[in-house]
Amino acid sequence: MRRTLGAIGFVLSFSLFALAGENVADCPAADNYQQPHRFGAYVVQIVPGPPPQGKQRVEFRCLGTITPAQGVRKAIAKNWTLSLNPISGTDINGDGKPEVVFDGHTSGSHCCYEYWIASLSKPPRLVREIRSEMPVSFQVSDSGALIRVPDAAFQFFMLPPEEGVVPTAILRLEGNRLVDVSSQHQAEYDEAIAKAKAELAPDDLEKFRHSSYNTKLFTDQLLTVKRVLTIVLDYLYSGREEQAWQALEQMWPASDQARVKAIILERRTRGVLSQLLGPPKP
């Protein structure tokens, strides 16, 4: 009975929290970022980091903390900016217990986004940290919490950054291990693939297939390049490698296929899947 009431308390806490629809308690910009949030018997709060001493450089401005009932407050996350993710209060790693997620960003204009997934246990503990050059999203689904991570290795691949095709890996946290479950969500990738195919005019595709990369670097056909890359990379990242290379063979200029395939494989090898899958690196 006590366990049931505790679970109801967590659900109610999460429901109220999720109404916000976006990250809350943005530190240090929001006036109310120090407002405590309750998840069952736990208090989750973002507080200011320590002030600099003398000419000491400030490395972080915000601390993410968790305090259990009749326990000691524990700092879980620290960063230049920090917020509490709306998925907090749900079971993220499949252990039947709720977790919270702190979202942070380092100082500077580019890198990096950091995420701390912490268990509401006694004492609270860090389950997994995720670091990414691009924003990561968390989603509650019928199959459990999903973590969508764009593969930033493709940010500047073949196209200007604002037009770039960046494939997304769909991950699940099992215990403290990140597992690639993209192949279980092929329907999502198929929507993007179908859209790209529908937008590929036969004449444009034929022109592209007979183009030479060394002539204009495909700069006169950027939309066609974008649509073909969307098809190839979404097949690849949804676990259909054979279809990916088949699409590349059918749609990409024959004289450039070997080069592009090698680059795709190289970037995928050093990308998000190699960095994040498996247990946390020591």
Residues 208 and 80 both lie in one domain? no
Domain extent, residue 249, equals 134-282
Mean local confidence (pLDDT), 86-100: 94
Residues 147 and 269 both lie in one domain? yes
The pLDDT confidence band at residue 108, using thresholds 50, 70 and 90, is low
Residue 154 is classified by DSSP as G
Query: What percentage of residues in the chain have a pLDDT greater than 90?
Result: 70
Domain closes at, from 132, 159, 174 = 132
- Are 247 and 231 in contact, with CB atoms under 8 Å apart? yes
Residues 154 and 261 both lie in one domain? yes
- Are 170 and 148 in contact, with CB atoms under 8 Å apart? yes
Residues 98 and 152 both lie in one domain? no
Helices marked H in the chain: 2-18, 186-199, 202-209, 213-216, 222-237, 241-251, 257-269, 272-276
Residues 203 and 124 both lie in one domain? no
Residues 167 and 84 both lie in one domain? no
Domain closes at, from 132, 154, 185 = 132
Record the pTM: 0.86
Domain closes at, from 132, 159, 188 = 132
Residues 126 and 249 both lie in one domain? no
Residues 145 and 273 both lie in one domain? yes
Over the stretch 178-213, which tens digit does the pLDDT of each residue have?
Answer: 999 999 999 999 999 999 999 999 999 999 999 998
DSSP codes, 45-62: EEEEPPPP-TTPPP--SE
Residue-level pLDDT at 109: 55
Residues 171 and 57 both lie in one domain? no
Residues 69 and 15 both lie in one domain? yes
Q: Using CA of residue 49, residue 50, residue 51, residue 53, what is the dihedral sign? A: negative
Quote the number of domains for the chain. 2
Residue 82 CA from chain centroid, whole number: 16
